[in-house]
Amino acid sequence: MVATASPATRRWQNIIVCFLNPGGIGEVILQTPFYEALKRLHPGSHLTVLTHRNTSDPVRNNPRIDELIQYTSPRELTSVFMSLRRRVFDQCFVFDKTWKSIYPIRLGIRAREYRGFNRRGWEALPLTRSVEYTGDRHETSYYFSLLDTTGDSFGGNPRMYPTHRDIDKVEQLFPGSAQGQWICLAAGGGANQSTGDVWFKRWPAQHYAALAEHLIERGYNILLVGGATDRYINNIILSRIGEHRDRVCDLTSRCTLVQSGLAMGKTRLVVTNDTGIMHLAACFNQNLLCLFGPTSPFTLLPRVPNAWYLWGDAEAYSPQVRVFGTRVIDDCLKSQFFRALTVDRVYESIESLLSGRSGGNALQIPATQPPGALPAYRPASRRRRTRRMRAKTSRAKFLLISPFTSVSGSAVRFWNIAQNLQNRGHEVVYVERRPKDAPAPPLENIKSLSSPKLKNLFLDIILSTVFNLTVFFRHANCAVYYALKPAPNNCIPALVAKLLGKEVILDVDDLDFGYIDEGFKREISKFFFNYFPRHFRLITCHTPALREYIVSHSRVPEHRIHFLTQGLSDVFLPYRIADRPASIPKSIVYLATLGITSDFGDLLPMFVNLCRAHPDVQIKIIGDGVRRSYFARQVEDLGLGTNVRFLGWIEHQSIPHVMADNWIGLAYMRPTFTNSCRAALKLREYLGVGLQVVCNDTGDAYLFREHVHIEPSIDMMERRVVSLLDQGLAVNEAGRRFLEEHFRWDHIIDDLLSRLEEPA
C-alpha cells in the first residue's frame, strides 16, 4: 500500500521533533525511520530536532534533519526554549511519553499543532492530537502513526550516518581481517541517565563469558563493544577467556557510538540484549541474535531481515513494562528473568545460524504478526517466590548493608562479596550511604540502593538506620542479612532481621574506633564495636589480630568466626601483565584514601630524599579524601610540586591500567595495633598488575613476604626504593600468579557459602 498524506498535512513547512529524555539511545535509533517517512511525505519541510546531548549521536549527520539542537541541563533547555519562542512551527512532535516532558514542551515551543502519545489521559492534555500508547505493537509503528498516512509502507529499518573519520578510526582499531570469523558479544547496555542501571534486561555476564569460551573453541574470534559503564561486564568475559585474549578485540570505551556500530557491522553475527546496543547493531548488521527477558521482541526486535530472538520469559511479560517502564516489575521478579535462557540454548542457536540452517531454538517475528498477539501477564505466586528465596544452598536472596560510601576500601571488599554471590546465582540487594555526586558501586545484575549522607553525624546515623530498616522490610523475603561493620545503622536492622528468623552475618574488617581521637565519640564507637558482634551467629574477618580482638573484647566464641580473607578485586583479574607498555617512565604509585585513616604525611620526608636521588622520578598519588588539600599544600611547601602528582579519585575499573603504568608500588601503614588488624588491599592490587612492591611490616603484609619487599622502617623503605629505581623496570610475574592462586574472590565466596551450609 502506498503511503499518502492527507490534505490537512500538505501545508507543513516548519517542523520540530522534541525528545528530552537524557537516556534512551535505543529510543532515538528507533525514531530514525520516522524522519525518512516525514521527509518523503513533506520533502520541502524544514525539520528541527531538539534532543539531549547524551542521545544526539544517533541523529547526528542525518541528512533528513535540517537543524539539530542539543542541550545538557535544565538551565540550558530553558535558554533553548526562550530562543525558539521567536519561531512558530507548523507541527511539534513530542516523542517523550511522560508529562515531565510534554508539559514543558507545550509551554516552551510555539506551534500550530502538538502531536504525541497518550499513556494516561491527563499526561496528554497539552497535546492537540495524540496516539494512544498501549505498548502492544512494534515501537516504530507508533511513530509512524503520528503522521497522517494510509499505511505503514515505509519499513522500519533504523539508520545512522558515520563520517569518513569514523570509518578510518574503525579500520585502525578493528580492521576485521577474516571478518567472517568474528562474532560480536554485546553484553552491556541497559544503563542510562534516566533509568539508571536496568541490569535485569541483560543476559548475565558470566553466561556471555561461558559462551565466549565455546565460540573460541569453535574457532571464532570475539569482538567486545560498549561504553564506560560496560567495562565491568566485559572484564568478566575477558577474565574467563584467560590465555585466549589474543582472539578478542576489546573496543570497550575506545569508540564512539557510531564507531562501535561500524565495528559490529564487520562481524558475522551480533549477540546482544534488548538494549540500545541491539538497535545500534541493527543499523550496521542484519545478522542478529537478540536475547529478551522482561521486554517483548514483538514490540522491539529490529526490523532487519535476519534478526532472530530467544525469549524464555514470555509468561512473565506485561505490556505495562513498555508503557510505564521497568519500574513496574516487582523486585522479587527481577532476578528471575533469563533463568530459562541457558548458555547451551544460546550456543545451539548460534551454531544453527552460522551453519546456514534456521535459527535453531531462536525465532523470527512473522511478517503478518497481529498487533495484539502478546502473551498474557501471569506473575508468579508470591508465596512460591518467598519459599524459593529461603533456600540457602541453592538460590538465596542476600541483603548486604554497608554503612560506608562507594569510595572506601571497605566498600570495595563488600562490592566483591556482593558480585561473587550474584555470580553464583543468588539474588543480591546492596545498600550503602553515598554522598552527593559520589560514584555508584560497579555492580552487575545487582539492585543497588543508597541513603543520602548528611553533614551531621548523629542525624546521618538516624536517617541511615531508618533507611536500612525500610529496605529490610521491603526485602523481608531475603534469606541472609549481611552487615558490614558493627555500626548501629547496620546492626539495629540486623537484630530486627534476626528476630524475624533471618540468617544474619556481620563482617568486621577494621577497628574503626581506633581512628577517632580520644573522647566521647571514640568511647561510643568502641562500645558499639564490642557490643554488637556477640549477637550474631556468624562473624567474618580477615586478619589474625582482628580475630583475637573479637574473641577477647567482643566475647565472640571462636567457632562463630569465619576467616574471610581479603581478596584481589575482580577488576584486576582480566588485566594481563603482558599488556603493560614496553616503555614506562620512572615512577612510583601510592594508593591512598587521604582521609582520617591516612598515614601519607609520614612518607613526605622520604619523597624529598627520593626526588634528590632521582630527580626524574614521578610519584603518583591515587585517591581522595578530606585531607587531600592539606597534603597537597605540604607537597608544594617541600618543593615537590613537579614530582608528586595527585590523581584524585579514579573509577575503580580503570585503576589497574593507571596503576600498571609505573615501576614501583608503595604501601605504608603506621605500626599501630589498629593497623595490625587491617588487610593491605593495596599490596594485592600492586601485585595484581605486576609491580615491584615496597612496604613496611604492618597488617597482613607477611602473607606476601616472598613477593614484596617488607622493610622495618621508613628509612629502610627509602633505601629499597632507591635501589629498585637504580636497577630499572622489572615485572613481578610471580606475585601476580601468587594472587591468582590464593586470593581470588570466587574461591573465597565458595568457602563462605560452604560455611553457611553448616548447622548453627
Distances (CA, A) of 205 to 188, 234, 445, 721: 8, 8, 9, 41
Grid coordinates given for 367: 511478517
Look at residue 5 in the predicted model and tell me its pLDDT: 45
Is residue 467 predicted with pLDDT exceeding 70?
A: yes
Is-contact 693 701, C-beta < 8 A? Answer: no
Does this chain's domain 7-145 share its CATH topology with 580-742? yes
Burial tier of 607 (Cβ tally within 10 Å: 0-12, 13-18, 19+): buried
Residue 242 Ramachandran class (φ > 0 left, ψ -120 to 50 alpha, else beta): left
Is residue 607 predicted with pLDDT exceeding 50?
A: yes
Look at residue 359 in the predicted model and tell me its pLDDT: 60
Question: Distance (Å, rounded) from C-alpha 234 to C-alpha 229?
Answer: 10
Rg of the chain on CA atoms, in Å:
28
Q: How many residues does the chain have?
A: 760
Is residue 7 predicted with pLDDT exceeding 80?
A: no
Angle, helix 99-108 to helix 74-84, in steps of 10 degrees: 40
Question: Distance (Å, rounded) from C-alpha 447 to C-alpha 430?
Answer: 6
Of 292-306, 386-400, 495-509, the range with the lowest mean pLDDT is 386-400
In degrees and rounded to multiples of 5, residue 696 shows phi and psi of: -100, 170
Which amino acid is located at 513 in the chain? F
Dihedral angle of Cα 754, 756, 759, 760, to the nearest 10 degrees: 150
258 compared with 760, residue with greater pLDDT: 258
Look at residue 459 in the predicted model and tell me its pLDDT: 85
Is-contact 677 545, C-beta < 8 A? Answer: yes
Query: What's the whole-number mean pLDDT along residues 643-653?
Result: 83
Other beta carbons within 10 angstroms of residue 374's beta carbon come to 19
Confidence of residue 3 (pLDDT cuts 50, 70, 90): very low
Is residue 177 predicted with pLDDT exceeding 70?
A: no
Which amino acid is located at 194 in the chain? S
Q: Name which of 679, 701, 687, 680 is nearest 656 in CA terms.
A: 687
CA angle 75, 76, 80 (to 5 degrees): 120
Tell me the percentage of the chain whose pLDDT exceeds 90.
44
Domain covering 385-563 in this structure, CATH number: 3.40.50.2000
Per-domain boundaries in the chain: 7-145, 177-354, 385-563, 580-742
CATH topology for the 177-354 domain: Rossmann fold (3.40.50)
Q: Name which of 659, 645, 640 is nearest 591 in CA terms.
A: 659
Other beta carbons within 10 angstroms of residue 103's beta carbon come to 14
Query: What's the whole-number mean pLDDT along residues 643-665?
Result: 86
H or E, element range at 48: strand 46-52
End-to-end CA distance of the chain: 72
Question: Distance (Å, rounded) from C-alpha 267 to C-alpha 176?
Answer: 8
Is residue 387 predicted with pLDDT exceeding 50?
A: no
Is-contact 406 441, C-beta < 8 A? Answer: yes
pLDDT per residue as tens digits for the range 306-355? 899 999 888 788 888 888 888 778 776 787 888 889 999 999 999 888 88
Distances (CA, A) of 260 to 101, 226, 334, 586, 608: 30, 7, 29, 35, 46
Grid coordinates given for 103: 508539559
Grid coordinates given for 277: 546496543
| DSSP string of 578-607, one letter each residue | GGS-S---SEEEEE---STT--GGGGHHHH
Grid coordinates given for 654: 580503570
Grid coordinates given for 372: 495484539
What is Dmax (Cα atoms) for the chain? Answer: 89
Look at residue 597 in the predicted model and tell me its pLDDT: 67
Question: Distance (Å, rounded) from C-alpha 476 to C-alpha 492?
Answer: 15
Tell me the percentage of the chain whose pLDDT exceeds 70.
89
For the chain, how many helices (H) and strands (E)? 27, 27
pLDDT per residue as tens digits for the range 47-76? 999 999 989 999 999 999 999 999 999 999
Other beta carbons within 10 angstroms of residue 587's beta carbon come to 18
Which amino acid is located at 506 in the chain? L
Across the chain, mean pLDDT equals: 85
Q: Buried b / exposed e across 415-450, counting CB within 10 Å, b at 16+?
A: bbbbbbbbbeebbbbbbbbbeeeeeebbbbbbbbbb
Look at residue 67 in the predicted model and tell me its pLDDT: 94
The strand pair at 191-192 and 196-197 is best described as antiparallel
Burial tier of 759 (Cβ tally within 10 Å: 0-12, 13-18, 19+): exposed
Is-contact 446 418, C-beta < 8 A? Answer: yes
Is-contact 473 493, C-beta < 8 A? Answer: no
CA within 13 Å, CB half, 56: 16
**The residue to which cell 633505601 is assigned:** 719
Confidence of residue 28 (pLDDT cuts 50, 70, 90): very high
Strand, coil or helix: 24: coil
Q: Name 168's Cβ contacts closer than 8 Å, sequence gap at least 6.
A: none
Is-contact 433 464, C-beta < 8 A? Answer: yes
Q: Name 739's Cβ contacts closer than 8 Å, sequence gap at least 6.
A: 568, 572, 684, 687, 688
H or E, element range at 91: strand 91-94
Grid coordinates given for 624: 581522595
Is-contact 594 572, C-beta < 8 A? Answer: no
111 compared with 371, residue with greater pLDDT: 111
Question: Distance (Å, rounded) from C-alpha 369 to C-alpha 622?
Answer: 56
Question: Distance (Å, rounded) from C-alpha 16 to C-alpha 617?
Answer: 57
**The residue to which cell 578510518 is assigned:** 168
Is residue 399 predicted with pLDDT exceeding 90?
A: yes
Look at residue 368 in the predicted model and tell me its pLDDT: 44
Question: Distance (Å, rounded) from C-alpha 487 to C-alpha 410?
Answer: 13
The strand pair at 287-292 and 269-273 is best described as parallel
The CATH superfamily holding the domain 580-742 is Glycogen Phosphorylase B; (3.40.50.2000)
Question: Could you tell me which residues are beta bridge partners of residue 375?
Answer: none
Confidence of residue 1 (pLDDT cuts 50, 70, 90): very low
Query: What's the whole-number mean pLDDT along residues 216-236?
Result: 89
pLDDT per residue as tens digits for the range 261-307? 999 999 999 999 999 999 999 999 989 999 999 999 988 999 888 89
The strand pair at 561-563 and 692-696 is best described as unpaired
pLDDT per residue as tens digits for the range 671-697? 888 888 888 888 999 999 999 999 999
Residue 176 Ramachandran class (φ > 0 left, ψ -120 to 50 alpha, else beta): left
Is residue 6 predicted with pLDDT exceeding 50?
A: no
Look at residue 696 in the predicted model and tell me its pLDDT: 92
Distances (CA, A) of 405 to 285, 401, 571: 42, 11, 19
Question: Distance (Å, rounded) from C-alpha 154 to C-alpha 5?
Answer: 13
Grid coordinates given for 401: 548493608
Find out if CATH 3.40.50.2000 is the number for domain 7-145: yes
Query: What's the whole-number mean pLDDT along residues 111-120?
Result: 92
